[in-house]
Structure 1
C-alpha cells in the first residue's frame, strides 16, 4: 500500500498501535471506609470479654453492633455492583470467598473443639463464629444481577428481611437468618451511585452526621438496660426471642432504621482523601479471618481470665487500643502477614480453572 503526501504535510501512519487501557485506581474513600469498618468489627468482637459489670462498656458494645456490620455489608454491596457472573468474576468469588471459607471453617472448628466443645462436628453448613459473613457474601454477590433487573429492589429486599425476622428456624443452615436480615444493606449499597456518596460527604451532612453519632452515645447508654443484644445479632426470629410477630416486626423495623441512619453517619465522616491507613483497606479479608482466631484463642486458653485488671476502666481502654493496633497489623500489606496468609485468604489456584476463565476481574474487583 502507498500513500500520497503533499509538501509540508507528514503522512499519518495507516496502522497505529491502540492506546493502552486506562488503569483504574482504587478509590481511597472506600478503602478508608473498609479499614474503619473492620476496626469496628474487631472492637465489637473483643468487648464481650470485658463487658460484664460496666454499663458504659455495654453501651459502647451496643452502639458498635448497631451499625458496624450494616456498614460493612453496605460497602460490600457497593463494591459488588459490577458483578454479572462473568467467568473471571466467578473465579474471584471462588478463590476470594469460597476457598477461605472452606479453610477457615475447619480452622475455627478445630479451635472450638480444642477450647470449648470437643464434640463439635465438622459442618460446612453451620458456620462457626464469624464465618457466616463469607457464606452471606457469596449468596449476596451471586444474586447481585437479580437486584439490577427487578423493580423496586430495595423494598423487595426489606420485605424478604422482614419475613425472615418472623420465621423461626432459619438460622439452622448456613446462618440464613443473618443472610436475609442483612440483605437490605447489601442491596442498598448495590444500588447506590457515586453521587449518593458525594452527597454524604457534603459539609452540612457531615456536621449532621457528627451530631447524630454524638447523640447516639447517651441514648445508647440510656437504652442499654432495656434492650437485649440478641436483637442486634440477627440470629433468631422475633418469636424465638419470646415476642409475637407483629411487635417483633416493629422492633426489627426500628432497628433497621437506626442502623441505616448510623451507617449513613459513619460513611459521611469517612475521609475521602488518601491517608496512611488507606492501603490497609485492601487487607480487610485477612484481618477479618485472623482476628477471630486470636480472640477465641485468648478466651479458650484463659488468657483474659488471667488478667482481671482488663475488667477495670483502664484495662478496657488498653484492650480496645490493643485490638485496634493488632487489627491494623493484620490488615497491613506484605510484609509480613499477607505474604504468609495469601495462599489461604486469596489463593490464585490457576491450575483449577480452564483458560477461558482467567480474564481480569474488571473495574468492580476489590
Structure 2
C-alpha cells in the first residue's frame, strides 16, 4: 500500500508550477511596464529555486536500479524528446523558421528543466553520499559560470545545483519547522526583502542573471565580481524559497489534488504560452490590462491543465509509455457464446440473443488517475 499523499507538498507543487506559468506569460508581454518588470524579477528570484528544492526532496530515493532508470526514461527522457519536437514544430509553423540549436542537445526554452532533472537524478546517489556535498554544490554554482557550457543545459544544471542538493539532504522534521508561526512571520519579512532587493535589480545584477544560463563573461563581469553577485543572488533566492515554503498552507485546499499533476501543467503550458506569443494575443493591450490579463491567463492555464480531462487529453504526450500500457490493459469483453444445443425450449429449440446492456457489450473502462 502506497503512503498517503502529503497535502502540503501538493499545495507547494501546484502554487509553484502556477507561478512558473504566470512568469512565462508575463515574459511574452511587450508593452513596457516597470511594475511588471519588477514583479517578474521578484518571481524569478524565488519560484524556480523553491521548485527545485522541493524537487530534490522528492528525488531522494532516485538511484541506478533498473526500476528507477526505467522510470526516468519513461517520465523524463521520452517527454523531453516529444515536447522538444512539438515546440520546434510549433515555432516553425508560426514563423517559418528552422532552429539554429542542436535541438535535443541544447534544450529548447522550458525543456531545460527536464534535461537538468535527468542529470540531477542520475547523479543523486553521489549527491546524497555526504552532507559536504551541500557546500561543495555552492562552490560549483559560483565557479561554473567561469566557462560557457552549452550542452544539455549544463549552465543551469550547475548554477541551480545547490537548491536541488539541499532538497536531497532535507529531512522531514526540518521542513515541518517551516510550519511554525515564527517561520511564517520570518517568511513574510523575507519576501518583503526580496521585493525590496529586486526593485533596482539592474543596478547590481540584472534580469539575465536570474536565468542561470550565462557565463560571467557573457554578463559583462570578471570572475571576482561574478562570484560576488552570484553569491548574493543565491542567498536571496534561498531566503525567498524558504519563505514561500513556510507560507504555503499545510492542509487540504481546493487546489491540493491538482498538485499531483504538476508535470502535465509544466509540459502542457509550453505549447499554450508559445501559441500566445506567436499569435500576439496580448500584444495590443496597454500595460495595466496586459499585466492583469497575463496573471489571470497564466493562472487559468495552470489550473485548467491540472484538471482530469486535460490530463487525459495530454496523456499520450506527457507519458506515452504509460498511455500504451493502459490501453493494452483495458479488459476486452467478448460476446457470450451459448452452450451448443441448449435453449430454454429444449435441446433443439432456438437460442435467444444474449441480453445487451444500455452501455453496449464493452465493460466500463477503469478510472484513470
- In the superposition, the TM-score normalised over structure 2's length comes to 0.83
Q: Does 1:100 align with 2:79?
A: yes
Q: Point out where structure 2 has 5 or more consecutive residues left out of the alignment.
A: 326-369
Match of 1:342 among 315, 330, 339: 315
C-alpha distance in 2 between matches for 1:261 and 1:117: 43
C-alpha distance in 2 between matches for 1:206 and 1:351: 45
* Preserved contact between residue 31 and residue 287 of structure 2 (Cα < 8 Å): no
Moved more, 42-51 or 57-66: 42-51
Q: How far is the alpha carbon of 1:319 from its aligned partner? A: 2.3
Q: Does 1:314 align with 2:286?
A: no
Correspondence for 1:280: 258
Q: How far is the alpha carbon of 1:212 from its aligned partner? A: 1.9
* Preserved contact between residue 51 and residue 58 of structure 1 (Cα < 8 Å): no
* Preserved contact between residue 204 and residue 229 of structure 2 (Cα < 8 Å): no
Aligned residues: 324
Residues 98-126 of structure 1: CA deviation (Å, up to 9, x unaligned): 11001001011112223346131562101
Match of 1:325 among 277, 300, 310: 300
Q: Does 1:230 align with 2:208?
A: yes
C-alpha distance in 2 between matches for 1:161 and 1:117: 37
C-alpha distance in 2 between matches for 1:323 and 1:151: 38
C-alpha distance in 1 between matches for 2:89 and 2:242: 38
* Preserved contact between residue 35 and residue 278 of structure 1 (Cα < 8 Å): yes
C-alpha distance in 2 between matches for 1:283 and 1:27: 14
Correspondence for 2:9: 30
C-alpha distance in 2 between matches for 1:342 and 1:49: 27
C-alpha distance in 2 between matches for 1:345 and 1:138: 15
Correspondence for 1:4: none
* Preserved contact between residue 55 and residue 224 of structure 1 (Cα < 8 Å): no
Q: How far is the alpha carbon of 1:225 from its aligned partner? A: 5.8
Q: How far is the alpha carbon of 1:182 from its aligned partner? A: 0.6
For the structure 1 residues 156 and 227, does the alpha-carbon distance in structure 2 shift closer, same or farther, using more than 3 Å as the test? closer
SS at match of 1:243: coil
Residues 248-275 of structure 1: CA deviation (Å, up to 9, x unaligned): 0000010000000000000000111111
Greater Rg by CA = 2
C-alpha distance in 2 between matches for 1:220 and 1:266: 16
Residues 301-346 of structure 1: CA deviation (Å, up to 9, x unaligned): 23233xx22x3313311321121012111012x2x11112112212
- In the superposition, the TM-score normalised over structure 1's length comes to 0.84
* Preserved contact between residue 56 and residue 221 of structure 1 (Cα < 8 Å): no
For the structure 1 residues 265 and 282, does the alpha-carbon distance in structure 2 shift closer, same or farther, using more than 3 Å as the test? same
